[in-house]
Amino acid sequence: MPYLNRHQISALIKKKQIYSNKSITNKQIQPASLDLTLSDKCYRVKASFIPNNIKISDVIKELSLTKINLNENKLLEKNCIYLCELNEKLSLPYDIMGKSNPKSTTGRLDIFTRVITENGKEYDYVNYNYKGKLYLEIIPQSFSIILKKNTSLNQIRFFQGSNIEKKIKQVNISVSIKKNQITAYKAKKITSAINLNKINYYKLYKYWEKIIPEDNYFIIERDEFYILRSKEKIIVKNNQAAELEPFKDSFGNFRVHYAGFFDPGFGNNKLGTPAVLELRAYDTPFIIRDGQLVGQLNFYDIDEIKKESYGIKIKSNYFNQDLKLAKQFNQ
């Protein structure tokens, strides 16, 4: 199977093909992914970049504005660009590659993140046989954030073999909009910073505006950030993993879902669970209607997870979600 599950990821750790500046905890190992954690080395930089054939240490010397020590809580300001070295390093074999994506909480807080590798030519992809450090670009977009070392903003999945795009099925995903009901949340422009370590702490109304449309549609405004939910209820069986792929621009001028990965066991009950969708319009305001297509959910095979699939047993944060904000908010 191309997707590696938690047991196969654990085997890579035992072989030192995944290793870290610190001990990799069991909590980091998800049903089909590994949580990546920040080291204490972080930099505010002038611009995003792709390293290509330049060493990242040389790029840091060229672009760095300030060095930040994450041994203590530090403020990362909204709309500024940061580059942090991750604790985890890789020494992958010839037949295994990695793909990273933001964690669900990262997406719901509108924190734009992507993994960069030495000599990498694209974001979030780790080539077969890669050996070296991992770095994370972080751009808080709606809220300034407070964090420190060992915080996890991204996760990485591993694939074995070359046939990693083989899908077992595809499901179209549309947005749910209900008139006279809370159908979405829009991030407020002026707020205080959010400490990522404070769970169920922040008052919703100070950071979010409730969207209660008078009909089965509303207008998403340019450069505003929205949380919505899917019309479809999703079930990912214990021998599957799924990834939400946004539709191309011809379906609408907005970006959907920063995270987009669904672990084995997500919504694996009689009714299923809706996906939470993160939308941001670009270029122009855009009217979005109930049932409008926003993405395609691709399902992939995985060796079955017998125990510790996504859900209450492993204390997954969003196993019973509906229109659910990030875990830092008291909702």
* 12 dihedral zone (left: phi>0; alpha: psi -120 to 50; beta): alpha
Stated as kind and residue range, the H or E segment containing 179 is none
What does the CA dihedral 188, 191, 196, 201 come to, rounded to 10 degrees? -90
With H, G, I as helix, E, B as strand and everything else as coil, classify residue 224: coil
The structure tokens listed for 77 are 């300001």
Can you name the residues that pair with 88 across neighbouring β-strands?
A: 20
Q: Delimit the domains of the chain by residue range.
A: 6-160, 169-330
**pTM for the model:** 0.92
Residue 26 has pLDDT above 70, yes or no: yes
The structure tokens listed for 198 are 């404070």
Write out pLDDT tens, residues 132-166.
999 999 999 999 999 999 999 999 999 998 776 67
Name the one residue in this structure whose structure tokens are 């041994």: 71
Are the C-beta atoms of residues 33 and 155 closer than 8 Å to each other? Answer: yes
Q: Are strands 273-281 and 254-256 parallel, antiparallel or unpaired?
A: antiparallel
User: How many other CB atoms are there within 10 angstroms of residue 271's CB atom?
Assistant: 8
Q: Was domain 169-330 assigned CATH 3.40.50.1820?
A: no
Residue 1 has pLDDT above 60, yes or no: no
The H helix count followed by the E strand count for the chain is 3, 26
Write out pLDDT tens, residues 281-329.
877 888 999 999 888 899 988 888 877 665 555 455 545 567 889 999 9
Q: Was domain 6-160 assigned CATH 3.40.50.300?
A: no
Write out pLDDT tens, residues 238-293.
888 899 887 654 444 556 655 578 888 887 776 888 889 988 887 788 899 999 98
Domain 6-160 and domain 169-330 have a common topology: yes
In degrees, rounded to 5, the angle at the alpha carbon of residue 109 between the alpha carbons of residues 105 and 321 is 50
